[in-house]
Chain A
Amino acid sequence: MKILDEKSDALLKRAARGDELAFLALYQKHQSPLYRYALRMTGSPWAAEEIVQEVFLLLIREPHKYQSERGELGAFLFGVARNRVMKHLEKTPRELSLDVMNSDGSTWREPEDPLTPMIIVEKAERIERVRDAVLGLPAEFREAVVLCELEEMSYEEAANACGCPIGTIRSRLHRGRALLLAKLELLRDVPRRAAAGGK
């Protein structure tokens, strides 16, 4: 679709003038990663939905807040989403959602491959376990794990997204990994390297 090939700046200018197609093109391009990030950080589909909505409402109401010379639109939107996520986490510290439902009310989607029911159940358990373990990390470590491991960002990209030096991201990721390992090994009853998390 031609409109999707347009640069974000041009689309944003059109959207600011009320062009619905341009706005939707921007929304479709950016909403999914923002939603996933918010969901993985908050563990709440409702909170993630609210955060994504607030991010794009800001784009509608105050498009001038984005200045193209300061970076990509995606990075700006991520920064806004990150602020909202952090505010949410401040309000509800250490809130662990055990909700296994997707935002649309469905359960976790499984890849459509010919697996036996046992394998499917086992996979679902592993996913839930790791999801809960990630949500149980302190926010800054969780963020590093979400960005570098789940969103597969490079250290540089994650550092830009968080507005901190690469060394800080590496350090947080190291701590996050150690804690994650400890949690999951304890859950699996194989405390081989549980002590590593305590360093």
Chain B
Amino acid sequence: MTVTTRPSRVAPAIDAPVAPVEAPSSGQTRIGRGAAWPKRREGPAKLTGEALYTDDLVFPDAWFGHTVRSTDAHARLLEIDLDPAFDWSKVVVVTAKDIPGENLVSLIADDQPVLVDSEIRHYAEPVALLAAPDRETLRQASRRISLRTQPLAAVFDPLESRQEFAHFALDKGNVEAGFGEAEVVVEGTYRVGHQEQLYIENQAMIAVPRPDGGVTIHGSLQCPYYIHNALKRALRLSDAQAVVIQAETGGGFGGKEEYPSIIAIHAALLAQRLARPVRMIYDRHEDIAATTKRHPAIIRHRTGVTRDGRLVAQDIEVVMDGGAYCTLTPVVLSRGTLHAGGPYNCPNVRIRGRAMATNTPPNGAFRGFGAPQTEFAVETQVNRIADRLTISPLELRRRWAYRIGDETPSGQTLRESVAAEEVLERAAESAEFERIHGLTVVGRRERAERAGSEPKSNVLSSAAGRTARGIGLALGWHGAGFTGSGEVKLASVASVELTSAGEIRVLTASTEMGQGTKTVLPQLAAEQLGVPADAVQIAPQDTSIVPDSGPTVASRTVMVVGGLVLKAARRLREMVEPSTGRPFAESYRDYAREHGGLRVDQQFEPYPDTNFDDATYRGDAYPAYGWACAVAEVEVDLDTGEVAVRNVVSADDVGKAIHPLLAEGQIEGGTLQAVGYATIEEIKLVDGRYLNDRLATYLIPTSLDAPRIDSILVEQPFSGAPHGAKGVGELPMDVPAAAVVAAIHDATGAWIHDLPATPERILAALHGIAPPPLPGLSTTSTPSSEAPA
């Protein structure tokens, strides 16, 4: 043990007042325009190192926790063996039999244990917990505990799996009649693999025992009430005994929606046993090896068109790999299925979606939530159809894109806020799509003629002949907020309070993970109240203080919770002004002095004329949709197959951009995650184990890999939300991957059907050689049963 001179801190003030910041003068650079909007609330704390993330929190006498994980993909757990040569009195061990409540962590189906009791269903599954007073003892103990197992047959291929988590069916018109009308039928199978969220702050939870027998969790998380509910169930706690407080959170992207619940339970079990705080801080290896990923998917398309480019039939099958447990899979599949047809008005549609179980770590929420998978497929399909018909992909989309009055495959009539054409035109114009596409097409043809007999060199290449440039386009949509009746069931509450001390504060469970919650929610309240944004405080995301305003997911924070905050602030003003006879801003302090505090709780009310039938899957799947168009320019190295994405223009209709600088930040970040998905991000599996489970082997884009990203904010407001906002978080993730793949085709003449478009896949497509293993599919170390090449 080392000498520690670390100053002890008591539980941190989550909302420490920040230093006053000098406002920038506008016009200094193009960034100067940011002066119009409030600065990021917690920005100064993040920029000075004062912001406290979970692992920065000091709890004296805390022990360190460790999770013992399975090393089988599927096995019967026979025994947990403790080496008798080790002094086990120095540590504590917790197994399934020590769980006071139900051995379950669940959002939809009750299938996932907190700790394996008898059957191991995936590699890296939690089986036992250890805690020790220091890291070295913990390390030693973890090496002296072993699992005796009896391996069982494992299923890795969702197409071979017999266990289904969910299925959905959407039908519109008559597909067979549609294909009868078709003059050209294009088929395609598209495959996408796992993608890791790769927030830079690993998962982290600290559990602190409470005097009332409960536990307080400080952690890196998106959804305080999900954890609150999970703790109550597994530890048999009351509402008051299960307190969850969000620490500063270093990125989530869906990865901290569901998985934090199991970590919090683990930490709490150890803390309860020890009657002292326990730190459960994952390192990067454990985080990648064990936590949820984007669902791999296999998507088959059959599309009927006429020779002059009319869309007459779409037949689509979506199969997702849920991994070993249900987690959020049915909802991911639902969104993926609802978006699978793309933003196109097709008279005859059949979509079938199913999610299957495999013996791989469970997949879960990741920005886009099923839509990036199915929209990659449909957009690549549409681009291939344009290629086949020799119609510009821009022109084809002009003809097919949804307009007001069109009906979706779920039978929803799009009544307003349809910006498919606008985002398409604005992105295409800004990126000069037609001009550049014209050059690349001509260039590719010339190269092919010049190359003569060489069949595989039909490429536009640079002067040196080693690289080729291309441009590609994709269009997408993203249902705003929860699917179907999700918001009605959630019945979220957000509050705005005038305290007796004359302070205004917003109370919600919506978390800040970088997207700007703590800035935008007070901004919305302040605008209603006529006060400066910094006059509105935001209460800490602590379940003992704030109401359940639902999870911070589904791009719903600004649209749904922001709408509640806005309405609550409006009501607060309407209560104060008649009493004081003066504008709220001038009189609220006097009101508080004379009458005391006032709090307005605003509960979600269904959006008008929005009806969805969960049983038949018919109706208004979403109250509104966001629309996005991405245009990507790439340069492909023809010798190595490497792709450099040079530029991306992303036009995104967010309804109303409340804080344009933050909204742009969402578009830029989502676009780069999509570029990573398209080009380099891939989990490889052997025997159901993630092979590249370190940051040295799972690569994400660096600043040198990142394109120049130009974001265009389009605003077609949604009348159901008081501010018109439709959300921005996930929309920019949905379509850039297909734009990149179209650009690779434009450069090389090769269509890539499987993501990511790695050098190996590109060279395989260019030279007609065997491609690498399919994305998302585990190979087995037994040579006889290797996955098909």
Do these two chains really belong together in a complex? Answer: no
Partner-A contacts on B (CB < 8 A): none
Partner-B contacts on A (CB < 8 A): none
